[in-house]
Amino acid sequence: MATSPTVSVLVPTYNRVKSLSHTLESIEAQSFQDYELIVIDDGSTDETREMVTSLHDPRVRYVYQENQGLPAAWNTGIKTSSGKYLAFLDSDDTWLKDKLKIQVAFLEGTVSQFPGCVTGYFFHALNGRQTAVIPRSSDAALRSILWKNILHLGTTFMCRREVFEEIGLFDENLRRAQDSDWLIRYRKRFEIGIIPEALAVFTQHLSRSGAAMEKSMLYLLEKHKDNLLAYGNLFYRRKAAIIYRDLAFQFSRENNPNKVREYSRKSILTYPTLSPGLWLTLIDAHLGTQLKKQADSIKYPGAFK
């Protein structure tokens, strides 16, 4: 009778065959080898299937589903996995070789206190710069996750299987911020362990769809309104203004001036002093200039071509 692996590694992917190969190589190179690897293909139309099935590794499973989004892919992976622990890795990110070994040792030693843990990571920014991000215990507080989640569940998180039985699966209504939504629910019941060492590489991306971002972020704001208001009305207003600002910036990249004006105004009215760049976006939407894009091209050279 086959025994279950210690770790189930879940890698969701969609049309990323080139980066996926590097992701899978970083898993294969792990010093900890008692794992199963489940690649959840969320409707890819490239050569993902051929690449994964050519690996001929009995630990690797390829699961295909029609395109449903990242949270649905994660949920599919969880349902089909069998490991004691679950670890997540996005298909354009990578792990350093001791990542699994260190996390398994941490969780085995702190089972009662920390059913889940995150590591630090190297942040590969749009402008090509790479910096080490080492979370502190304060970054794992509920207030911090509500305000700005820097933990990157999809690249650094590992937890006991039983956590999902208690917390529930990922919310499939969300195409953005699904990790923050789940971590908020997790954090209201459990502590998050912090391993203060960069053991992964996370690659920054811009949103590909303003409409999907709009639907998800407004849904998230309403879903967690009570959690936000628990830290005061000002906390909630500032968070709402940030969401409206980010939507304005995204629609600006998509040359949608009506949405830019809508969310710029909402952000300014909700919290007027939030972001100087928002005023540039609003001017662009009214006058047809590109002041914000020019400012971004200086901050992120090459990212907006």
Q: Which long-range contacts (CB under 8 A, 24 or more apart) does 150-153 make?
A: 151/118, 151/179, 151/183, 151/192, 152/118, 152/121, 152/179, 152/200, 152/202, 153/88, 153/118, 153/179, 153/182, 153/183
Q: Which of 199, 75, 80, 192 is nearest to 133 (CA)?
A: 199
What is the structure's pLDDT at 300?
46
Give mean pLDDT, residues 271-284: 66
**Span of 60-69, 121-130, 207-216, 277-286 with lowest mean pLDDT:** 277-286
Is residue 281 pLDDT above 60, yes or no? Answer: yes
More confident of the two residues 229 and 124 = 229
Sign of torsion over alpha carbons 21, 95, 152, 281: negative
Using 50, 70 and 90 to split pLDDT, how confident is the model at 111?
A: low
Fold (topology level) of 7-203: Spore Coat Polysaccharide Biosynthesis Protein SpsA; Chain A (3.90.550)
What is the structure's pLDDT at 113?
85
Sign of torsion over alpha carbons 38, 185, 234, 260: positive
Start and end residues for every CATH 3.90.550.10 domain found in the chain: 7-203
- The angle formed by the CA atoms of residues 121, 105 and 167, to the nearest 5 degrees, is 75
Per-chain mean pLDDT for the chain: 89
pTM of the model: 0.87
**Span of 219-223, 246-250, 301-305 with lowest mean pLDDT:** 301-305
Sign of torsion over alpha carbons 216, 219, 223, 226: positive
Tell me how far apart the alpha carbons of residues 208 and 230 are, in angstroms, rounded to a whole number: 32
Is residue 158 pLDDT above 60, yes or no? Answer: yes
Is residue 305 pLDDT above 60, yes or no? Answer: no
Tell me how far apart the alpha carbons of residues 256 and 58 are, in angstroms, rounded to a whole number: 48
Residues 54-93 have pLDDT tens digits of 998 999 999 999 999 999 999 999 999 999 999 999 999 9
Give mean pLDDT, residues 216-230: 97
What is the structure's pLDDT at 75?
98
Residues 11-36 have pLDDT tens digits of 999 999 989 999 999 999 999 999 99
Tell me how far apart the alpha carbons of residues 100 and 114 are, in angstroms, rounded to a whole number: 16
Give mean pLDDT, residues 104-112: 86
Q: Quote the radius of gyration of the chain (alpha carbons, Å).
A: 20
Residues 238-262 have pLDDT tens digits of 999 999 999 988 998 898 999 988 9
